[in-house]
Chains A and B, each alone.
Chain A
Amino acid sequence: MKAALRMAVVAAGLLLVWQAVVSATGAQPFILPGPLAVAAAVAGHTGLLLSHAGTTLAEILLGLGLGAALGAFSALVIAHVRPARLWLLPVLVASQAVPVFAIAPVLVLWLGYGMASKVAMAVLIIFFPVTAAFYDGLSRTDPGWLDLARSMGASRWRQLLRLRIPAALPACASGLRVATAVAPIGAVVGEWVGASAGLGYLMLHANARMQVDLIFAALVVLAAMALILYFTVDRLLRLAVPWQVDTLWREHEKEPVEP
């Protein structure tokens, strides 16, 4: 409840700043529409916005699922298979030197204007933070646990299954949080390059027709979607890794109460 109140205060503050900028600069509505104009646009185009938001959300979720699975799998492979670590890790790092934005047109060329190219884009953006964070976690298992496991006669495979993977889950969760935050970027960039549906496509379309209020309306819907997605994933990850104590939040809860 307190958190919700804080969110509401922050949102109201941002809206006030927005309106203040519009009033102070006297910006024309086709340059920078005020919050009320955007709210009217959202209300006036609800059906249109929702149908395009559905497409974008589907792209994001598919990209997130596939990207997280691919990222986790590649982290497991490079952690468990030594030759893969030596040969694949440099390739993974090098792959990040190619900006996804630069290959977006090529992906559309290869995979078409449909959903596939956008999902591929999201996967490319998502899988690396998941791989990097999960691999980092897998490589930092407490040496004491591994000694204990060896004295108990555990195979490398069972050490991975019973010790390394559970111990790396908090790190993997951090990677998934980053991935969730960047996933919408991949989908929207894909839609900008070439699409027939989605919020990115809608924004581009509205931009060409100077419907600035609709651009902002699409932006608001996209931001709301990204926020809800992030907090949902964050919540699920906290439930999945309950033994990982959040010391910052605990410190917050233990703050002395004012008399």
Chain B
Amino acid sequence: MGEAAPDIEFAVDIRGAALSYGGAPLFDELDVRLEAGLWTCLLGPSGVGKTSLLRLIAGLDGAAAGRVRTGPVAYMGQSDLLLPWANSLENAVLGARLRGERPDFDRARRLLADVGLEHGLQALPATLSGGERQRVALVRTLMEDRPVVLMDEPFSSLDAITRHAAQDLAARMLAGRTVLLVTHDPLEALRLGDRVHVMTGRPAALESLPVPDLAPPRDVRDPAVLAAQGDLLARLAA
């Protein structure tokens, strides 16, 4: 990704990272930088190491070599990971509970109302729809109030319509934060990403792709977005 201009601030800076999975090296001498306050979307074939990179930044796995510099991170996984015995409000304040802090219920209520769940505060996850569960998970992520948010295919289990709404909501609620979004959906990357990277090869390398010159979340009907989606799909399939 080359040397950065001095006026760009990076929230995440990885230099020369090496990581192997099951004995096989995933990447070696990998450099990744996420610009502060921007959404970076990461695409690439399954098994290339996208989730491993995310876990590396989240501090869940250590690198065999290299240096990872990052601010405090909030993590949102592929499934909503809601606790089945806790209602929406309790799930939203899980982070405080797990750190033994006093939960900020007022803020949790406000955020749940913001995502349209003001009537589902006492609902157990089993009684919520997939989209509602993902919204609770989003609020739980927001409650952490971390400058860097890592998301691993957070919308992949939702249907197309619900996913569209969830993308708009996430773009609104996470504005101003540094976001790394791993996705398999080229359209999702082009709707939400200020930067779009493709991860390919073994050892894996990142390549930055051009994005339409519009502010996210971009209109899916925009010809530039659609054209970019076609290019991206062709590139990923190649």
Which of these, A151, A153, A155, A163, contacts B83 with CB under 8 Å?
A163
With A144-B79, A243-B124 known as contacts, the answer to whether A149 contacts B98 (CB < 8 A) is yes
Give Cα A169–Cα B83 distance, bound, in whole angstroms: 13
B residues in contact with A144, CB < 8 Å: 77-79, 81
User: Does B116 have its Cβ within 8 Å of any Cβ on chain A?
Assistant: no
A residues in contact with B189, CB < 8 Å: none
A residues in contact with B126, CB < 8 Å: 243, 245
Give Cα A151–Cα B58 distance, bound, in whole angstroms: 6
Q: Is the CB of B58 within 8 A of A142?
A: no
With A166-B83, A166-B85, A243-B126 known as contacts, the answer to whether A151 contacts B97 (CB < 8 A) is no
Which of these, A150, A241, A243, contacts B60 with CB under 8 Å?
A150
Give Cα A169–Cα B84 distance, bound, in whole angstroms: 12
- The dominant DSSP class at the A interface is helix
Q: Is the CB of A154 within 8 A of B60?
A: no
B residues in contact with A169, CB < 8 Å: 85
Q: Is the CB of A158 within 8 A of B84?
A: no
Q: Is the CB of B85 within 8 A of A148?
A: no
With A145-B83, A243-B124, A245-B126 known as contacts, the answer to whether A152 contacts B77 (CB < 8 A) is no
B57 to chain A, nearest CB (A): 10
Task: Across the interface, name the chain A residue whose C-beta is closest to B79.
Answer: A144
User: Does A140 have its Cβ within 8 Å of any Cβ on chain B?
Assistant: no
User: Does A162 have its Cβ within 8 Å of any Cβ on chain B?
Assistant: yes
Task: Across the interface, name the chain A residue whose C-beta is closest to B143.
Answer: A152
Q: Is the CB of B99 within 8 A of A151?
A: no
Q: Is the CB of A142 within 8 A of B81?
A: yes
Q: Is the CB of B99 within 8 A of A152?
A: yes
Q: Is the CB of A148 within 8 A of B75?
A: yes
B residues in contact with A159, CB < 8 Å: 98
B residues in contact with A162, CB < 8 Å: 94, 97-98
Task: Across the interface, name the chain A residue whose C-beta is closest to B100.
Answer: A158
B72 to chain A, nearest CB (A): 9
Give Cα A144–Cα B153 distance, bound, in whole angstroms: 14
Q: Is the CB of B99 within 8 A of A154?
A: yes
Give Cα A152–Cα B95 distance, bound, in whole angstroms: 6
Give Cα A153–Cα B58 distance, bound, in whole angstroms: 11
Which of these, B59, B81, B85, B94, contacts A243 with CB under 8 Å?
B85
Q: Is the CB of A151 within 8 A of B124?
A: no
Give Cα A152–Cα B97 distance, bound, in whole angstroms: 10
B residues in contact with A152, CB < 8 Å: 94-95, 98-99, 144
- Please, what's the 1-or-0 string for B97-139, where 1 marks a CB less than 8 Å from any CB in chain A? 1111000000000000000000000001010000000000000
B residues in contact with A148, CB < 8 Å: 75, 77, 81, 94
- Within B61-87, the residues touching A (CB, 8 Å) are 73-75, 77-79, 81, 83-85
- Please, what's the 1-or-0 string for A135-147, where 1 marks a CB less than 8 Å from any CB in chain B? 0000000101101
Q: Is the CB of B98 within 8 A of A158?
A: yes
A173 to chain B, nearest CB (A): 13
A169 to chain B, nearest CB (A): 8
- Within A215-259, the residues touching B (CB, 8 Å) are 241, 243, 245
Give Cα A142–Cα B97 distance, bound, in whole angstroms: 18
14 contacts between A and B (CB under 8 A): A142-B81, A147-B55, A147-B75, A147-B77, A148-B77, A151-B58, A151-B73, A152-B94, A152-B99, A158-B97, A158-B100, A163-B83, A167-B83, A169-B85
Q: Knowing that A145-B81, A147-B55 touch, tell me 12 more A-B residue pairs with CB under 8 angstroms.
A: A144-B77, A144-B79, A147-B58, A150-B60, A151-B75, A153-B99, A154-B98, A154-B99, A163-B98, A166-B85, A167-B83, A243-B84
